[in-house]
Chain A
Amino acid sequence: MELIAEHPVLDLSYFKREERVWFTFDGVAMEGFKGAPIAAALHANGVRVYRETPNMKRPRGFFCAIGKCSSCFMVVDGIPNVRTCVTPLAAGMKVETQRGKGRALIAPIISE
């Protein structure tokens, strides 16, 4: 993973890398740290493209990291338009590239 292994100012404990969990990105198993944003976990695994725009099919990735810009929207556990830069990673999450606007999957969510 593309993680900082040593830092002249910050102790590595500052990064709160407490619990490693597995998740999937487009079906591929990856490891990340529980509670850190999904987008950070993807970036650490070398994933840069998080979604594709509806019309121009342009790739989009990480951008603002504060949940304001919509660049990092992805489909997480079936729910589209999840702000992955501020949504914490949990074990077993199914993270997928979002293509287009995302479907409003109202029925499946309610049935849960």
Chain B
Amino acid sequence: MSENDLLFNSGILTDERQGAIRPPSGLWGAKKGGLVIVECPQRIPCNPCATSCPAGAILPFSDINDTPLIDYEKCTGCAICVAACPGLACFVIDLAFSEDKALYKLPYEMLPLPSKGDTVTCLGRGGEALARGTVEAVIEPKRDKTYVVHVSAPREFANGIRAIKAGV
């Protein structure tokens, strides 16, 4: 078993695969508001991403075990799915946020809850610190303690940043 297989088997996405496809780069770079990145590469019985999507961008499942398929043309980057996904596997990344920064809209259920203007550490899929980011907004779309934290951070980590550590 390769090193990559072992990494994937322990919960770290190593490459694109079904249920974890990145948006087409041309569309992604230009889309104000950002596009959704879903990292859900296993067939499990779960569909709130699709049923919660107000734009119909996460296509309806024919079987509840389907992995998500996305119509990026329809995605508005609203991040409702970021708050709705029970597995915290949806992220929105807005590459058009500014010249050098992307806006990362990440799910957050830990303490402390950061506030707008705070500096946070941006973490990769293995918890490694990748960059410092600035909190632009903290919202609680479903009023259920799953927050969506908007963080601006260097755009070069669009394929890396997936979580934050606050209070550091």
Task: Tell me the smallest distance from the CB of B156 to a CB of chain A, in Å.
Answer: 30
**Main SS class of interface, B:** loop
Residues on A with C-beta less than 8 A from B110 are 8
What are 9 A-B pairs at a CB distance below 8 A? A6-B111, A7-B111, A8-B109, A8-B110, A8-B111, A8-B113, A8-B145, A9-B109, A9-B145
Per-position binary interface string of chain A over residues 1-37, scored 1 when its CB falls under 8 Å from any chain B CB and 0 otherwise: 0000011110000000000000000000000000000
Residues on A with C-beta less than 8 A from B111 are 6-8
Per-position binary interface string of chain A over residues 33-59, scored 1 when its CB falls under 8 Å from any chain B CB and 0 otherwise: 000000000000000000000000000
Interface residues of B in 80-124 (CB under 8 A from A): 109-111, 113
How far apart sit A9 and B113, CA to CA, in the bound complex (Å)? Answer: 11
Interface residues of B in 128-156 (CB under 8 A from A): 145
Q: Number of contact residues on A: which range applies?
A: under 10
- Closest 7 A-B residue pairs measured CB to CB? A9-B145, A8-B111, A8-B109, A8-B110, A6-B111, A8-B145, A9-B109
How far apart sit A8 and B113, CA to CA, in the bound complex (Å)? Answer: 8
How far apart sit A8 and B110, CA to CA, in the bound complex (Å)? Answer: 6
Task: Tell me the smallest distance from the CB of A76 to a CB of chain B, in Å.
Answer: 36
How far apart sit A10 and B107, CA to CA, in the bound complex (Å)? Answer: 17
Residues on B with C-beta less than 8 A from A7 are 111
Per-position binary interface string of chain A over residues 57-96, scored 1 when its CB falls under 8 Å from any chain B CB and 0 otherwise: 0000000000000000000000000000000000000000
- Known interface pairs A7-B111, A8-B109; 7 further A-B residue pairs with C-beta atoms within 8 A, sorted by A's residue number: A6-B111, A8-B110, A8-B111, A8-B113, A8-B145, A9-B109, A9-B145
How far apart sit A16 and B168, CA to CA, in the bound complex (Å)? Answer: 32
How far apart sit A74 and B113, CA to CA, in the bound complex (Å)? Answer: 41
